A and B are shown apart, each in its own frame.
Chain A
Amino acid sequence: MAELEVKQKRLNGRGLFWTWSPRSEKEAGESIVRNLLLHWFPAKVTLKSLSWGYSLWLGTITAALFLILGITGVILMFLYVPSVERAYQSIKDIEYVVSFGWFIRAMHRNAAHLMVASAFLHMVRVFLTGAYKNGIGVGQNRPLNWIVGVVLLLITLLLSFTGYLLPWDQLAFWAITVGTNIAKSAPLVGEWIRFILLGGHEIEQNALIRFYVLHCFFLPSAVLILFSYHMWRIRKDGGLACVDNLVLSQKKEKVKDGIKSKTYSLLGLTTGRTVQVEATLLDEEKYTVNSVPFLIRRIGLVMLGTFIFVALISLFINAPLEEPANPNVTPNPAKAPWYFLWLQELVAITTIRIGGFVLNGAFIGGILIPGVLVLLLAIWPYFDKSSNLNTGVWFGKERIRQNIVFLVLCFFVILLIIIGTYMRGPNWEFYFPWEPWPEIPKKF
């Protein structure tokens, strides 16, 4: 890794955050254990894991976006009133009356959109690099962490969904209408789920307060808990998957040289061998650097970059607010945000008629197809029988076919999103982007 020059920097100097300064590598390792924040991270980290090109740092970006959402979200909680009478007005106040209210709301909204995108891209990266596969370490369970990641992606989508209906504008109202009716179309439990979600049969105050509590407390808590586990598992799985790959490729060289392997445990704490601590398997001098400062510095850089990026685009892209919710008039066309448009497209085209028997598209496109996709995604690591040489490499040779299938599925989702965004006009009819939409009379 030429881009990182390994400098032996002396780790000294006490600061506000270090109660103790390490003087040797062993002490530097201990310092990690002694620091609450740092013991998410290993003492040493491979250059490959640090590189921009392997992980693209999408997970860190997602976490940074979640942090932005947490901060701006708490501020918005002081300004927003979750009541049917006042919700819309309070958002209007945030937009036009509160100092910098528009900016904070724009940051919250833009970060939310970006988080959906970055979590999705993170998943794509993990799939394409085969990073959900176990390598050679003892006690690895990367498939489990992949499942945790899938759940986190779903919760991110739920957070977006519960978030965009809080303003109680037209988008909000019709989104809950459609969303909860999709839930209702589930067999047997559907009616019941809709009732408990809305706290009744109609979309009124009970529904608003429920979505508010889900959005501000339950779902973020779930993210925090699962995210902590997600991070902890990375450590237990021996770091990023590219480390396994590095060790395997190095092993081949070493076997030629005939050097005996020596094993010691990290800091005398772990039992068994993990990939980083098998001394001869990974040439530490050659492939690793200290986490402090190299890993910490880069994480800080990515976080700062994300913050600045979101702040900058929020100056130009503001959060929209539609007309107040009106149960009698559905906007035409009524479109969900882009990350749900593929579902809207699916529910619109998947009603199946066989003779007199009709299956509602709400069930096929809203529950069955997404359900199958998510299930496939979750269990896929258990069907991937490629050898562990394909762990942690982009486009592994034995995984070409599954990578193509995965990309084709992703492409279809993106295609549906593009059709929904640019090619659906009034009454959800198809128009090419260059075709004008017909005038729709406001009154019937």
Chain B
Amino acid sequence: MKLNRRNFLKTIGIGSLLVGLVGQLYTWIRSLFPNVSYESVRRVKLDEPDKIPDGVTFIDDIKAYIFREGKTFYAISAVCTHLGCTVKYVGLSKPKIVKIGGKEVEVKWEFHCPCHGSKFYGDGTNYAGPAPRPLDWVKVEISPEDGKLVLDLNKTVPQNYKLTV
């Protein structure tokens, strides 16, 4: 095509209309990506440490089990690492000794997933079913304002992260 004045103007004209169309397309798609999240909290404040019951408690708001052993606190996420169902805490009638990472550990409870049958030891280590990795541990901290216990899903912690107060 020879670029004379007519063709030049035609190309510019139709081209700019098309660019306009692409721009609109972009706005349509971009609008579906939310900028603000009104979703429920990923950080929850509990009570003062000595008011947390000994043993295990399920925290609804962030789907996690918090454990207290005297002055030590730790929390394990209840979200299955396979496909995200909520795992169930299963207390064992008899503690059993298992090998986790080469060390012998006494296990008093387990977590079982109802969706696809994954099973985890008390420390979240997966041992049966399709789950590809251990349950996440949740950051436990003391709020600097009022000394209450805080669980925060936004921060990642290694397995066996425990807080002693």
Contacts and interface: CB of A to CB of B under 8 A. Distances in A.
A358 B119 CA distance: 16
A444 B91 contact: yes
Interface stretch (B3-11, B14-22, B31-39): B31-39
Contact of B82 (A199, A334, A347, A444): A347
B131 interface: yes
Contacts, number: 102
B63 interface: yes
Given A348-B117, A427-B112, A328 B86 contact: yes
B86 A329 contact: yes
Interface in A320-363: 327-334, 344, 347-351, 358-362
Contacts of B33: 195-196
Contacts of B58: 328, 444
A332 B114 contact: yes
Contacts of B115: 174, 178, 330, 333-334, 344, 348, 428
Contacts of A177: 83-85
Interface string A190-219: 000001100111101110000000000000
Given A328-B58, A444-B89, A361 B130 contact: yes
Interface in B90-147: 90-91, 112-117, 119, 129-133
B32 A199 contact: yes
Contacts of B34: 199-200, 206
A327 B63 contact: yes
Contacts of B27: none
Contacts of B132: 351, 358-361
A426 interface: yes
A427 B88 CA distance: 10
Contacts of A205: 38
A200 B37 contact: yes
A361 B129 CA distance: 10
B133 A444 contact: no
Contacts of B91: 444
B116 to A, nearest CB: 4
A201 B37 contact: yes
A415 B133 CA distance: 29
Contacts of A181: 82-84
Most chain-A Cβ atoms within 10 A of its Cβ — which of B63, B114, B131, B133? B114
Interface in A350-391: 350-351, 358-362, 366
Contacts of A196: 32-33
23 contacts: A174-B115, A177-B85, A178-B84, A196-B32, A200-B39, A201-B37, A204-B39, A206-B34, A330-B113, A331-B114, A332-B88, A332-B114, A347-B83, A348-B116, A348-B117, A349-B130, A350-B130, A359-B132, A361-B116, A362-B83, A428-B113, A428-B116, A428-B129
Interface of B: 32-34, 37-40, 56, 58, 60, 63, 82-86, 88-91, 112-117, 119, 129-133
Given A201-B37, A202-B39, 18 more contacts: A174-B85, A177-B83, A177-B84, A178-B115, A327-B63, A328-B60, A330-B88, A330-B114, A330-B115, A332-B114, A334-B115, A347-B83, A348-B129, A349-B130, A351-B129, A351-B132, A361-B132, A428-B129
Closest 4 CB pairs of A and B: A428-B117, A332-B114, A348-B116, A361-B130
Interface of A: 174, 177-178, 181-182, 195-196, 199-202, 204-206, 327-334, 344, 347-351, 358-362, 366, 426-429, 444
